[in-house]
Structures are given as structure tokens and as C-alpha cells.
């Protein structure tokens, strides 16, 4: 199972919006709504941000939003804040009953 | 409060074995599947194993299939990962995570496994 494709890095100034894409195939992102997003600050464990494409767990700020179109899912951070600087990973369930992660995207707040 | 605490990480030689454990608390353990996810130094996340709530369904990534075995003890609220035939490329932080709606919603802090001669 190949990793989902994410851009290596994105950046933005405080208050701006940034979007991270996550491209898979018809066997994973395109087939299921079991797409999730994670935030991992340096030296920390990952934290769940988005589940089932677009649902935010309790405690996740509403500036984080998710969507999906075809084989590509997206995470948008609206109103970028300094504490949003971290690595972000997408993940999808697949038709071989496994999970696959994206390669990760480093978000830099300028 | 949900807590997951991994243990068992160590330095081991190639070809060796290691058993990781994850102690869970703060939730009804036998109502959730559990995942192991690893992260090699400076690299991204890699899902490696899943076990369902009652151990009826078990899945592995191709990279560890046949070498690693996931198991759980619902009486002790714990999940384990038996790792055999370890390779240098298995060097990573190993995270235990709770499964919820096909996502890992709570994570432990991880335990470091180093495979080196």
C-alpha cells in the first residue's frame, strides 16, 4: 500500500488560511469517508484533528476543517496561528483492510 | 481521562525479538479497537497493526506481516506487540493508539525501539 501524497511544506502568515492536500486512489481516499487528519508538534505524539473527512473531535478549534473530492482530501487551517506550526498527516482506511498515512506536511507560520 | 502508556522499547540486535506493551485507562477498553503506529527517526507515520475490540479481526501492514503479532488482554486493559526477526529499518518510536471511527483518537507518548548491531 503506497503512502498518500501530501505536499512537503506549506507556509502562511498569522491570520491567513492554508490548505493541505492529500491524494490517494480509488482504493482508499476515493472509496471511503474514513479519512482523518493529525497534527504533530515537534517532539510530541500526534493529535487527532479531523475524523470521517470533516468531523472535528471535541476540543479541536473550528479553524481546522476537512473536505474531500474524489481521490483527494484537504485540510484547511483558517486564521493561522503561531501554535499551528507543526507537521500534519492525513490517513485513510483502504480496501485491503489496512490504514495508510500521507508523507506529512510541515506547516510554517511566517 | 484516556491514557495510553507504552513500554518495552530497547536496543536490540538485528534478528532479535522484543515485546512492546501498552497499558490503557480512562475508557471502556473492550469497546475499542487498538492500533500500533510507528515513526522512524525524522520520518513520517506508518500504521503497522490493528486489533478489534474482541480480537476477532487483526490486520497488519505488509512491512511487518509474518514478523509482528498484535494481541490484547481485555481483563488487564492492555495491548501488546510481539516483534520478531527485527531489522535495522524497524528502528522507530512505536505508538499505541485507540481506534474510533477508523481513526486513532488517543495516542500514547511512544516507546523507542532501536535495532542495531
Q: What span, in angstroms and rounded, lies between the C-alpha atoms of A105 and A52? A: 20
| Chain B residues in contact with A47 (beta carbon < 8 A) | 107
| Buried b or exposed e, range A59-79, using 16+ CB within 10 angstroms | ebeeebbbebeebbbbbebee
Backbone angles phi, psi at A83, to 5 degrees: -75, -5
Is 90 exceeded by the pLDDT of residue A1? no
* Cα–Cα nearest to B36, from B12, B10, B70: B70
What's the pLDDT at A14?
96
Q: Do A45 and B46 touch (CB under 8 A)?
A: no
What average pLDDT does chain A have? 96
- pLDDT (tens digit, 9 = 90+) per residue, B72-99? 999 999 999 999 999 999 999 999 999 9
Which chain A residues have a beta carbon less than 8 Å from that of B105?
A: 48, 51, 57
**What pLDDT does residue B101 have?**
87
**Do A99 and B107 make contact, defined as CB atoms within 8 angstroms?**
no
Q: Is the pLDDT of residue B66 over 80?
A: yes
Average pLDDT, chain B: 97
Residue B15 has pLDDT above 90, yes or no: yes
| Long-range contacts of residues A62-70, Cβ cutoff 8 Å, at least 24 apart | A64/A37, A66/A35, A66/A37, A68/A29, A68/A33, A68/A35, A70/A30
Chain B residue whose CA is closest to A48: B105
Q: What is the pLDDT of residues A63-109, one digit of tens each?
A: 999 999 999 999 999 999 999 999 999 999 999 989 999 999 999 99
Q: What is the pLDDT of residues A4-61, one digit of tens each?
A: 999 999 999 999 999 999 999 999 999 999 999 999 999 999 999 999 999 999 999 9
How would residue A2 be classed by pLDDT, with cut points 50, 70 and 90? confident
- Are B68 and B60 in contact by the 8 Å Cβ rule? The answer is yes
pLDDT in tens, B22-43: 999 999 999 999 999 999 999 9
The answer to whether A103 touches A90, Cβ cutoff 8 Å, is no
Amino acid at each position: 500500500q503506497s503512502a498518500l501524497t501530501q505536499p512537503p511544506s506549506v507556509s502562511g502568515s498569522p491570520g491567513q488560511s492554508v490548505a493541505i492536500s492529500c491524494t490517494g486512489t480509488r482504493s482508499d481516499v476515493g472509496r471511503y469517508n474514513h479519512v482523518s487528519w493529525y497534527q504533530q508538534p515537534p517532539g510530541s505524539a500526534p493529535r487527532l484533528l479531523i475524523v470521517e473527512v470533516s468531523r472535528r473531535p471535541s476540543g479541536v478549534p473550528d479553524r481546522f476543517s476537512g473536505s474531500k473530492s474524489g481521490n483527494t482530501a484537504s485540510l484547511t487551517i483558517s486564521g493561522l496561528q503561531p501554535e499551528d506550526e507543526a507537521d500534519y498527516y492525513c490517513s485513510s482506511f483502504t480496501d485491503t483492510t489496512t490504514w495508510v498515512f500521507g508523507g506529512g506536511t510541515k506547516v510554517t507560520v511566517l | 481521562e484516556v491514557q495510553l502508556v507504552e513500554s518495552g522499547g530497547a536496543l536490540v540486535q538485528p534478528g532479535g525479538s522484543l515485546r512492546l506493551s501498552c497499558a490503557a485507562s480512562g475508557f471502556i477498553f473492550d469497546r475499542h479497537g487498538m492500533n500500533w503506529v510507528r515513526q522512524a527517526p525524522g520520518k513520517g507515520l506508518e500504521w503497522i497493526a490493528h486489533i478489534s475490540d474482541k480480537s476477532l479481526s487483526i490486520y497488519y501492514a505488509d512491512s511487518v506481516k509474518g514478523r509482528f503479532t498484535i494481541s490484547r488482554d481485555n481483563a488487564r486493559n492492555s495491548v501488546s506487540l510481539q516483534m520478531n526477526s527485527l531489522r535495522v529499518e524497524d528502528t522507530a518510536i512505536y505508538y499505541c493508539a485507540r481506534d474510533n471511527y477508523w481513526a486513532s483518537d488517543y495516542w500514547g507518548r511512544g516507546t523507542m525501539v532501536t535495532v542495531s548491531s
